[in-house]
Amino acid sequence: MNLNYNKLVKIVKLGRFQFLLGGILYFCMGAFLAVLLNAEFSLDKFLLGYAILFTAHLSMHYSNDYFDLEADKCGKPSQFAGGSGILIENPELKKFSKWFSVVLLSLSLIIAAVFVVLFSYSIWFFLFMVFANLLGWFYAAPPLRLSYNKLGELATISVGFVMPAIGYLTLTGTIDILFIIFSIPLLIYQMLFISAVQIPDMEGDKLGGKITWIVSKGRKFGFKVITVSAILATLSFFSISITNLYPPILNFKVITLISTIPLILAVLSYLKRTEDRKKAMHLVNQNLISLIIFLAITNFYFLYLIK
C-alpha cells in the first residue's frame, strides 16, 4: 500500500482518536486514586502503563471499524457513533485496518510483558492485560462478536472497571476492595455511555444485525437508561461519602457534587426524549460531553489533593 498525506490522514481518522480521551481520563483516575490511597507514584510505571492501554484502546478502534464494516454501511457515522466511515469510502484500507489492529494488540501485550519483568509484577498483571485486549478485539470480531450477540452492553459496561483498573494496577500491582467499590459508579456511567452511543445507530444496527438495547426498545428507552444510570451513579458516590472506607482527604461529597453535571444533562435529555435521530443526536452529544467533563474535573480534584 502506497502511503501519501491524504491516506495517512484517513488512517488517523480511522483510529477515532477522540475516543482515547475517555481512556486516558479513566486511566488517570485509577492511578490518582492509587496515589491517594498511599501508593508511590512512579512516572516510569505511569507512562508505560498508559502505553499498554493506549495501544489496546487504539487496536480496538481499528478492529471494530473492520469487523463492523457491513453494519456501518447501513447507518450514518456521527461525532460519537457509527464508526469512522473511512472504510466505507476507502475499502482499500480494510486489510490495513485489520492487521494494524493486530500489530497494536501485540504491541500492548509486549509492553505488558516488559512491564512485568521491569517492575517484578505478578503474572496476573499480564493476564489482566490479555483480558483487556481480548475484550476489545472480540467486541466485534468473530467468533464471539459480543456486540452482535446481546453482550455488547455488558462488554462496554465492563470498561468502567477495566480502564481505571489498569491505572490502579500500574501503581499498586493489585486490585483491592477500595478500588472495586470506587469502580461501581464508573461501571454505571458506562451504561450511560453505551446507551448514548447506540441511540444514533439504531437503524443501522438493526439492519446490520446487531442486537442492542436501543434496537430492541427504541431511542426513548435509551434516554431512560441514561437518566437512571446518572441517578444511580450519583447515589453511589453519595453512599460512599457517608462511609469511613476511604481516607479523610478523599471527600466523596465533592465527587457527588461533580456527578450532578451528567445527572442534570441526563434529566434534561429525558424530558426532551425523542425517536427522531437528528434531535436525539444533539441530546446524546450533550450527555457524552457531560460525562467527559465529570471525568476531567474529578481527575483535577484528585490532582489537587495529591499536590
Question: Within a domain: residue 208?
Answer: yes
49-52 contact pairs (CB < 8 A, 24+) = 49/115, 49/166, 49/167, 49/169, 49/170, 49/171, 50/24, 50/167, 50/170, 51/108, 51/111, 52/108, 52/111, 52/112, 52/115, 52/129, 52/166, 52/170
Q: What is the per-residue pLDDT for 71?
A: 77
Q: pLDDT of 34-86, one tens digit each? A: 999 999 999 999 999 999 999 999 999 999 999 988 877 776 766 666 667 88
Question: Within a domain: residue 242?
Answer: yes
Q: What is the per-residue pLDDT for 82?
A: 60
Domain span holding position 73: 15-306
Report how many domains make up the chain: 1
Question: Within a domain: residue 24?
Answer: yes
Q: Compute the mean pLDDT over every residue in the chain, rounded to the nearest whole number.
A: 92
Question: Within a domain: residue 9?
Answer: no
Q: pLDDT of 250-280, one tens digit each? A: 999 999 999 999 999 999 999 999 999 889 9
Give the rounded percent of residues in the chain with a pLDDT score beyond 70. 96
Q: What is the per-residue pLDDT for 11?
A: 87
Q: What is the per-residue pLDDT for 8?
A: 87
Q: pLDDT of 155-174, one tens digit each? A: 999 999 999 999 999 999 99
C-alpha cell at 215: 434496537
Q: What is the per-residue pLDDT for 211?
A: 80
Beta strand residue intervals within the chain, DSSP E = none
Instruction: List Cα–Cα distances, 71 to 12, 25, 83, 140, 256, in angstroms.
Output: 21, 29, 9, 11, 38
Question: Within a domain: residue 299?
Answer: yes
**Most trustworthy range by pLDDT among 86-100, 196-210, 289-303:** 289-303
pLDDT mean over 125-149: 93
CA geometry: angle 160, 164, 167, nearest 5 deg: 165
- What is the DSSP secondary structure assignment for residue 170, as one 8-state letter? H
Question: Within a domain: residue 269?
Answer: yes
CA geometry: angle 301, 177, 246, nearest 5 deg: 40
Question: Within a domain: residue 6?
Answer: no
Question: Within a domain: residue 56?
Answer: yes
